Amino acid sequence: MVNFTLYDETTAPTSTQPTLAKIRETYGMIPNLYGYLAESPIALNAYIHINEQLMKHSSLTPVQVQVALLAISTVNNCEFCIAAHSWVGSTLNAREQTVKAIREGGQIENNQDKALVQLVQAIVKDRGYVADEIIQQFYDAGFSKENLMDLLVCNMLKSLSNYANHITKTEINAEFAAFSR
């Protein structure tokens, strides 16, 4: 079994120490995913940059981004990200029913959330070969082609984090524990 090091701002390679220090300063903690990604400045900085772009500049709202990231993480069975995005979603006032349905595989009541989750999960499950009907339902719910492209970026981000968490066997931070399944 290969063991990975969970770094913090004092133990990380010198190239990622400042980034982890900034994360702790910003959030008051370092999510364990970041501690493992610190092994590679490219991986850590790519994750941070793409996440910031999605949250600040996406055509999707921050809540919709979190719903998408949670839905992707559920398909990929990434328990760390399920807990983390449930926590972030709650801080952004995501619909409780939507978050619960995604986490439990239930029916989503809100039509727009349902269309978003159905599309993003189809993108993952079908490796991008999504049925036209699912894409049309997404558009019929009020979404655009730009929104669809932003969902592909969400998938790219979750490929990095979900797979990194599987490989490193990332433990859920205490701050996210109440949101684990």
Confidence of residue 160 (pLDDT cuts 50, 70, 90): very high
What φ, ψ does residue 147 adopt, rounded to 5°?
A: -60, -40
C-alpha dihedral (106, 107, 111, 114), degrees to nearest 10: 40
Dist CA 70 CA 103 (whole Å): 8
Sequence letter at residue 64: Q
Q: Looking only at Cα atoms, what is the longest distance across the chain?
A: 51
Helices 111-125 and 96-104 pack at an angle, to 10 degrees, of 30
pLDDT single digits (tens) 110-142: 999 999 999 999 999 999 999 999 999 999 999
pLDDT single digits (tens) 38-68: 999 999 999 999 999 999 999 999 999 999 9
N-term to C-term CA, the chain: 26
Average pLDDT over residues 12-32: 97
Contacts of 2 (CB under 8 A, 6+ apart): none
The answer to whether the beta carbons of residues 9 and 30 sit under 8 Å apart is: yes
